Structures are given as C-alpha cells and as structure tokens.
Amino acid sequence: MKIGLSLSGGGIRATIFHLGICKYLAEKTLLSSVTHISSVSGASLCGALIFAKSGNKWPSDAGFLRDVLPEIRQTILKNNIQTAALLKLPFSPAYWGHRAALIAKVMQEKWGITGTMRDLPEEPLWEINCTTFETGKDFRISRQKMGDYILGYVKNPDLPIASAAAASAGFPILIGPLKLDAKKYTWTETPPGAPSEDSYYLWDGGVYDNLGLESLYKPGTGLTKGIDFLVLSNASCPSGYLHRNGFSSAKNLKRLLDISMDQVSALRSRDIGIHVLKENKGLYVNIGNSAEKIADDAKVDAETKQRLINACMPPKDAAFVKNYQTTLDSPTPENFDLILRHGYENALCCYTCFMP
C-alpha cells in the first residue's frame, strides 16, 4: 500500500501531534510505506526534523521508533527556536524585516536542519506548502521543483531545507514572509504574460490551505497518482469565540485570518469525508477528538468502545491538547509527551474504528 501523508499547520503543537501519528504508523510497520508527504507550517518543521535526524533520508519503522523520535524529542525540549530567534533579533539588524530567515538560521544552528531540497530522497516525495504573497497561490517546494502555476517553476532547487520549512511556517504578523531571491534561479513552465520580479515573498502555507491537501487530492479526480491511501492529520486549532481587541489591529487581523483558514479547512475536510473516507481510501485524524467521540462516530460495538476509552486519555486532556497555544516555543516535557500521546491515540482509535 502506498500511503500519502497530509499534515496540517498548527505551530509546535502540530509538529508534535504529527510525530504521534508517525509513531503509530511505525508501530504498524506502515511508516515505511509512505510515498508522498504534503506539509504546512508546523508540519513542515516536523518533516524537517524527521529527515534531519535520519541523514536526510526517510527512516525505517524501527529506526524512527528507536532513534529518530527520541532524538527529535530531545532536540525540541533542549532548543527553543522561538526564544533563540528573539534573543538574536535585537543584535541582528539584517533580520529585522526578515524574521522567517532568522527562524531558518536558528533551525540550522539549534535543530541541525541542514542541506538543501536537492539532498532529499526521490521517495517519499515531500512537498512543503507556502503561500505566494504576490499571486495568492500555493507555492510548493520539493526535491523536484518549486513554484506555483502563475510564476512557473524552478527544477531541483538548491533552497535550504530550513528556509523552505521556515517559509511554510511564516505566519503573517507573527513571523512574516521569507524573501525569495528570484534572480538566483532559472524559471521554467512560466505562462505567457506571467509577472517577473526580482524577489517573491513566501508566507505560511496555511493561509492558502492549512491541511496541505491540494497536492495529494483533487476534488472530482480523487487521490494523486501513486497514492492508494491518504492519512490526513489535522492539528489546527479552531478560532473559537473571541472578543474584539479595541487596541490591537494586529490581533484583529490575525483573528480574520484564523476565521478564513478555518473555513477553507472545513470545506476541504467535508469533501475528503465524502470522496475518500467513505470509500475506505483514507483516515482523517483530528486533534481534540476523544476515544469516545471517535468510537461513537464510527458506531463501533460497546466492547471496542470501552477498550479504546480505557486505553486513551480522558476528553479533558484531549481538549487541552487541542487548545494548546499555536507557537514555536518548546513545550514542557510533560506537554510534549501529552501532545505526542494524543496524536498516537487518535491514530490508534481511527485505525481501529474505521479500517475494514
């Protein structure tokens, strides 16, 4: 079975939640069957860490469990990239208007995210999703190429992996865009009359599609060629109820972005539910869902439901993970383990309840 992973944004919460999904897949000896990965924001940090701790190769199931996951845990807990970037910023004027580039530099120094997109393996094909500010389209970065259909594409880009991941996580206002030097590259497949700039600005991929689905699934046509089964992991936090801040236009603008991103994710999720999940061609793992809710949604028998409830965290802990702050700050060891466990248990419940 050829598996596609679609991993959402959500800061460090998403990074760790997706690691829990990967842990479950590895235990089922399915992680090695992944042929395509599409990541957004915090998920792109997750992918960068997995590849970095595997020598820029995709790990085996046993290797992920034995070596990669423990090393990632240690790296995240001991190296707070958000704090490190904030401490560098006042003394680094070159980065004052380029915070995403600073995040990339800190990821290289503190997390060991080295190499360029060219150094990644052909399989699994990892596509990092950003949003092109100028075109408003999904700017994808992979080993094969980077670009969007309006600007054209750069084949086999030598863009640093850390820069690609930082661009994908460059949420407007909080971090901001990564400035891409367009003159450095040769662009192909550029449509007639396409704009040509010296540089382009790449924002958080979640602004366009926080689930990262577009490269793995097309409405009306189904899964991308080469994928038999889709695992969609959604670690984004709904915007919820919030009073308007009368003193901060930045916070109010972020609120509007959150609402827009929520609506896009909801529409894409419904379409996936109709055309993929009902055909047993995928699983939708959603942060915050308790074992009881998943069992009820699947209408499993009482014995299976109780077994899952007994094995998994209570709903209040699942709700805590769901509402964990969207940030790049390192969590406490306890919160790291809780978020990881929730991702793992969510995958366990979905697999048990929905797989035929």
Question: In the chain, what percentage of residues exceed pLDDT 90?
Answer: 71
- The answer to whether the CB of 155 falls within 8 A of the CB of 181 is no
Q: Which residue has the higher pLDDT, 239 or 323?
A: 323
pLDDT at 185: 96
**What local confidence, expressed as pLDDT, does residue 355 receive?**
87
3 state SS of 269: helix
Query: What is the DSSP code string of 169-199?
Result: T--TTTT-PEEEEGGGS--BSPPTT----SE
Reported confidence tier of residue 170, pLDDT bands at 50, 70, 90: confident
For residue 148, pLDDT over 90 is answered with: yes
Q: What integer pLDDT is reported at residue 266 of this predicted model?
A: 59
**Angle of CA points 41, 53, 73, to nearest 5°:** 70
Instruction: Tell me the C-alpha distance between 51 and 354, whole Å.
Output: 30
pLDDT of 173-201, one tens digit each?
Answer: 568 899 999 999 999 999 998 888 899 99
Q: Is the pLDDT of residue 12 over 60?
A: yes
37 beta partners: 5, 126
Closest CA to 67 of 54, 80, 78, 76: 54
Q: Which of 152, 148, 110 is nearest to 127 (CA)?
A: 148
pLDDT value of position 241: 52
> Mean pLDDT across the chain, nearest whole number?
89
Res. 289 pLDDT band, cuts 50 70 90: very high
Give phi and psi for 27, each to the nearest 5: -65, -30
